[in-house]
Amino acid sequence: MSGGSYSRKKGARSKIKKYKRKTWLCRRAKDTDQIQDELEKEQRTGVSAAKFEYDDDLPGGGQFYCVETGKHFADAKALADHKKSRYYKRRCKELKEEKYTQAEAEWAAGLTREKLPPAHGNKTS
């Protein structure tokens, strides 16, 4: 017997549901507009979004939370190291930009609203 060969191709089971990897949905970060809303709410109310009650399910009991990236950390040192990282600095830079409005989104999609002259004119008789 020669070792190392497989009887089926690599990725042959990729379409079977129980073998699928849910990669980006389960670890997906919050969108920038969601975080901007949280920060605005925090400024209006004065209540910090980073304060959680102790929860065993979260890393560090939920006590070490980064608002800008929306992540929980195990201890204060991990949070401090995270705040020095490139990912954190990039996210802070993104959050300083203005939020997109619905009008900007429609304009980018080509759904501009044109004002056309009336088709039959104003007939008064």
Residue 88: alpha-carbon gap to chain centroid: 13
Q: What pLDDT does residue 15 have? A: 73
pLDDT score at 81: 94
Q: Is residue 19 part of a domain?
A: no
- Give domain status of residue 94, yes or no: yes
Token representation of residue 73: 């950390």
Evaluate whether residue 48 is within a structural domain: yes
pLDDT in tens, 87-121: 999 999 988 888 778 888 888 887 766 777 888 87
| Domain extent for 63 | 29-98
Q: Residue 1 falls within a domain, yes or no?
A: no
Q: What is the pLDDT of residue 89?
A: 93
Beta bridge partners, 71, equal 66
Number of structural domains (the chain) is 1
Is 0.85 topped by the overall pTM? no
Are 49 and 8 within 8 A, CB to CB?
no
Contact 42, 59 (CB under 8 A): no
CATH of the domain at 89: 3.30.160
Let me know if residue 38 belongs to a domain: yes
**Is residue 90 situated within a structural domain?**
yes
pLDDT, tens digit (0-9, with 9 covering 90-100), for 56-92: 878 877 788 888 888 888 899 999 999 999 999 999 9
Instruction: For residue 67, tell me if it sits in a domain.
Output: yes
Q: Is residue 24 part of a domain?
A: no
Instruction: Please tell me the distance from the alpha carbon of residue 78 to that of residue 107, in angstroms, as a whole number.
Output: 42
pLDDT at 23: 58
